[in-house]
Structure 1
Amino acid sequence: MATVDESLANKDGEPRHHAATQNEKLVIAASSLGTVFEWYDFYLYGLLATHISAQFFSGVDETTAFIFALAAFAAGFAVRPFGALVFGRIGDLVGRKNTFLVTMAIMGLSTFAVGLLPAYGTIGVAAPIILVIMRLAQGLALGGEYGGAATYVAEHAPNNKRGLYTSWIQTTATFGLFAALLVVIGFRFAVGEEAFAAWGWRLPFLVSILLLGVSMWIRLQLNESPVFQKMKDEGTTSKAPLTEAFGQWRNLRWVLIALFGAVAGQAVVWYAGQFYALFFLEKTLRLDGATANILVAVALALATPFFVLFGWLSDKIGRKPIILTGCALAALAYFPLFGALTDAVNPALARAQALAPVTIVANADECAFQFDPVGKNKFEGSSCDIAKAFMAKTGISYANQPAPAGEPATVRVGTTPFTVPTPAGLSPEARRAAIADFQTRLGEALAAVGYPPAADPAQIDRVKAIAVLWALAMLVTMVYGPIAAMLVELFPSRIRYTAMSLPYHIGNGWFGGFLPTTAFAMVAATGDIYYGLWYPVVIAAATVVIGLIFLPETFRRDIDQ
């Protein structure tokens, strides 16, 4: 890739380094507003996962239903790389503008349809199946949206302001999440929690049809990218962008370096700092959904300007040091930050965990994995299963200690042991009575040492909670602010839409999108409420190492070829 030739002008006749023109401002505004809408659509599902699990996965137990809801959320991310291939190819063949008009229409109509979809109680198993189909459509659309918007803005930007210009695209994910949070919070307060849980959760999906109309009108005002238009006029567009991008090692190696040396770490930092933090507040710390949404919304509002700041800074010092520093800080800070979040939001839980930690003493070979994909297993096959099933329902963190084979499991609350009944040899009636007695005694013991059933709003340190959430969001701005400019600069304009979209959506769709589901499954397997953090920590640390060795600096490159 060539370096910048300062003596030349851009395709509009402007010097390569110039103040933003009115047309460029319109490009940034229109691209960003349209992308905000698409992220709003996509994030609604994540914010309403608890309600969706109750409406569409009510045929299984609560824990399994929530994991299924997260899995359906992740399904939209799973297909994003395929959307990147389909729409990236179209974008490199026929143009940037028309491609992301199509992706927007698919996203908007799929979101609106979710608001109309009958629940499990009305149409049975067809409900979750149709829901997943809608999520897949959203994921395909989003797979084609981001690369088009980032490429479109970057190809309009002066060479010394690509980080600044594309950073506005980077704010759209957070603005979309922020807009979704505000709409959800507004409807929750307008109709009340009971009505919102019953039917009000549909309203944020239904009002999206109005946003779709506005966003489509805005996007229709734009012209084609000058870089693509010049290639089209000269007949130099790629005839086979997929083959050229991924079938030639000189391009494929940059796809792999971008994925493992930048995007994978950026993705897990992003989803840990925004989505996993929200789920952690609701499902682990037992904070009510409305308060959790408000805390996250305030933190995001405070952090969002830093996307632009770090984009601007990357034009001065480079993309690589900012992205890798953010990944390194995340790997070092996640465990203390999430611990501090527990202290701030549910101090009673934090005190109980410190003063009376729970330990399950059992033979590991006699313990089942506490996840039931069909909702039929009651986990009563062994005393270990009985103990872990009860602890999984409480959401309380516990440690595991091995015991000799054949011995009944024991649950220790602090230093007080509770022997778990062994079901073998008991009649069904005797087994149920023994389990009920054990659960009653253990529940009373947990309450006696201070384990709360839910976070107490009166005890929340809101300033500290927002500060921790803001710190998590700041790490997101560091890794995400410069990433679009870096990806655009890595690839030639003939295959840019295709080549940059795939690593971005594999990273964010798979490494990031599966983070909440994977992390909660890791927690369910171990009993440690913080164990799921190892997922983003390990990937972020690996990205730092790979990026330091292989990732080039790109901020002085000329992208007009």
Structure 2
Amino acid sequence: MGASTSLVGVLPAYASIGITAPAVLVILRLVQGLALGGEYGGAATYVAEHSPPAKRGAFTSWIQTTATLGFFLSLLVVLGVRLSVGEAKFADWGWRVPFIFSIVLVTMSVWIRLSLHESPVFIKMKAENATSKAPIKEAFGQWKHVRLVLVALFGLVAGQSVIWYAGQFYALFFLTQTLKVEAVTANLLVAGALVIGTPMIVFFGSLSDHIGRKPIMLAGFLLAALHFFPLFHGLTKYANPALAAAQARAPVTVVADPRTCSFQFNPVGTSEFVNSCDIAKSFLAKASVNYRNVDAPAGTVAAVHVGDRVIESFEGATLSSAERKAKVKEFYAALAKQINAVGYPGCADPIT
């Protein structure tokens, strides 16, 4: 986990090694995530095996706070580096500093790990020769065990991960990329929310010792399902009221043949789209403009409806690269002019 995190800080840029850069970044993030899952599961088990049975929820809840507090501390580090070196240098090389600095934390965690002893539960199992001789084979080679793994994965862990990442990481992304809130302000808002929310983890962990784990988790799933959409609508209304007003006054609709709309994966911004639907949606995605899809008959050239104005896209498959770029520039300019005319803001106003 530590190696993959620190390696992100020294990863060559796209300009140096091309498409290999984002590919290696994705691999490092996958390794980091898988290692993190093992670390968290091991830590929770270790603490649980040291805990009194009547306080197991309260004790293990502190493990969950480390994820939230870790995110909080990372925001502070990012803010510190951003303010110290300035936005231009942070975008150029300063973003690497927190990743490289993580080596210090890895060194501390290794020292802590080497200082720990086995839990009393494990020592007792080992003394009774009750440990597994082939844990991987027993866990994944028998259906009754695989069934429990699948239930835990899709019935518990997947839902919790979606809620946690949506409520913290995606909320920050939504504020900065979709609502165009200034980065420092967005980081401070999320950091404040983490400070408020972290004590609740311990509270509900302790409560689970009295009323059970299942009611707490199911209640959390239900609350998230009922409130996530209203909460993100609320973020839009209060973080960027001009954007919320524009969406209500002049909603954007993309009318296109759904068979011509592809899945857009453009992490480094170098993909060149040729279908009219993709060309239109690419602009709206870059401009963080919310839109609704309407299916059109086969062969229809995609069009963007902004309020009562219609801007028609074009098919670029038969055009040369130079002609296509010229048409894209013209189409983007017309669409941007209309988007601005109906009041879609370029960024959130920090005063309002």
Judge same fold: TM > 0.5, yes or no: yes
Query: For the Cα contact (< 8 Å) 2:275–2:314, is it kept in 1?
Result: no
AA aligned to 1:154 is: A
User: For residues 242 and 183 of structure 2, what CA distance do their matches in structure 1 show?
Assistant: 19
User: Which of 428, 437, 446 is the matching residue for 2:330?
Assistant: 437
CA drift at 1:307? 0.8
User: For residues 246 and 425 of structure 1, what CA distance do their matches in structure 2 show?
Assistant: 52
1:351 aligns with 2:245: yes
Other-structure match for 1:449: 342
- Does the residue aligned with 1:457 lie in a helix, a strand or coil? coil
Query: For the Cα contact (< 8 Å) 1:357–1:414, is it kept in 2?
Result: yes
AA aligned to 1:397 is: N
1:197 aligns with 2:91: yes
Stretch moving more, 277-286 or 347-356: 277-286
Q: Deviations over 1:487-535 (max 9, x none)?
A: xxxxxxxxxxxxxxxxxxxxxxxxxxxxxxxxxxxxxxxxxxxxxxxxx
User: For residues 327 and 286 of structure 1, what CA distance do their matches in structure 2 show?
Assistant: 29
1:308 aligns with 2:202: yes
AA aligned to 1:220 is: L
User: For residues 441 and 285 of structure 1, what CA distance do their matches in structure 2 show?
Assistant: 22
CA drift at 1:356? 0.5
Q: Which runs of 5+ in 1 are unaligned?
A: 1-106, 460-561
CA drift at 1:308? 0.6
CA drift at 1:256? 3.0
1:154 aligns with 2:70: no
1:422-501 correspondence to structure 2 within 5 Å: 433-459=326-352
AA aligned to 2:48 is: A
Other-structure match for 1:235: 129
Other-structure match for 2:3: 109
Per chain length, whose mean CA-contact separation is higher, i.e. which structure has more relative contact order (CA < 8 Å, sep 6+)? 1
User: For residues 227 and 427 of structure 1, what CA distance do their matches in structure 2 show?
Assistant: 70
Q: Deviations over 1:42-98 (max 9, x none)?
A: xxxxxxxxxxxxxxxxxxxxxxxxxxxxxxxxxxxxxxxxxxxxxxxxxxxxxxxxx
User: For residues 24 and 295 of structure 2, what CA distance do their matches in structure 1 show?
Assistant: 44
User: Which of 181, 185, 206 is the matching residue for 2:75?
Assistant: 181
CA drift at 1:228? 0.8
Q: CA 1:398/1:139 → structure 2, altered by over 3 Å: closer, same or farther? A: closer
The TM-score, its normalising length taken from structure 1, stands at 0.58
Other-structure match for 1:530: none
User: For residues 424 and 137 of structure 1, what CA distance do their matches in structure 2 show?
Assistant: 38
Other-structure match for 2:140: 246
User: Which of 255, 264, 270 is the matching residue for 2:164?
Assistant: 270
AA aligned to 1:403 is: A
- Does the residue aligned with 2:95 lie in a helix, a strand or coil? helix
Stretch moving more, 321-330 or 355-364: 355-364
Q: CA 1:290/1:252 → structure 2, altered by over 3 Å: closer, same or farther? A: same
- Percent identity between matched residues is 61
Other-structure match for 2:285: 392
User: Which of 209, 213, 219 is the matching residue for 2:107?
Assistant: 213
1:414 aligns with 2:307: yes
Q: Deviations over 1:72-129 (max 9, x none)?
A: xxxxxxxxxxxxxxxxxxxxxxxxxxxxxxxxxxx22332333233323234455445
User: For residues 8 and 189 of structure 2, what CA distance do their matches in structure 1 show?
Assistant: 26
Other-structure match for 2:193: 299
Stretch moving more, 343-352 or 425-434: 425-434
Query: For the Cα contact (< 8 Å) 1:342–1:349, is it kept in 2?
Result: yes
Other-structure match for 2:37: 143
AA aligned to 1:313 is: L
- Does the residue aligned with 2:311 lie in a helix, a strand or coil? strand
Other-structure match for 1:283: 177
Q: Which runs of 5+ in 2 are unaligned?
A: none
The TM-score, its normalising length taken from structure 2, stands at 0.90
- Does the residue aligned with 1:329 lie in a helix, a strand or coil? helix
- Does the residue aligned with 1:418 lie in a helix, a strand or coil? strand
Other-structure match for 1:225: 119
User: For residues 164 and 413 of structure 1, what CA distance do their matches in structure 2 show?
Assistant: 52
Query: For the Cα contact (< 8 Å) 1:114–1:131, is it kept in 2?
Result: yes
1:117-132 correspondence to structure 2 within 5 Å: 117-132=11-26
Query: For the Cα contact (< 8 Å) 1:188–1:196, is it kept in 2?
Result: yes
- Does the residue aligned with 1:283 lie in a helix, a strand or coil? helix
Q: CA 1:134/1:417 → structure 2, altered by over 3 Å: closer, same or farther? A: closer
User: For residues 424 and 282 of structure 1, what CA distance do their matches in structure 2 show?
Assistant: 34
Q: Deviations over 1:200-249 (max 9, x none)?
A: 11111222222223333333332211111122223221112223333344
State the number of aligned residues.
352
Other-structure match for 2:150: 256
Query: For the Cα contact (< 8 Å) 1:108–1:209, is it kept in 2?
Result: yes
Other-structure match for 1:326: 220
Query: For the Cα contact (< 8 Å) 1:368–1:379, is it kept in 2?
Result: no
User: For residues 305 and 287 of structure 1, what CA distance do their matches in structure 2 show?
Assistant: 27
Stretch moving more, 156-165 or 121-130: 121-130
User: For residues 268 and 5 of structure 2, what CA distance do their matches in structure 1 show?
Assistant: 27
User: For residues 268 and 89 of structure 2, what CA distance do their matches in structure 1 show?
Assistant: 29
- Does the residue aligned with 1:199 lie in a helix, a strand or coil? helix
User: For residues 65 and 53 of structure 2, what CA distance do their matches in structure 1 show?
Assistant: 20
The root-mean-square deviation of aligned C-alpha atoms, in Å, is 2.6
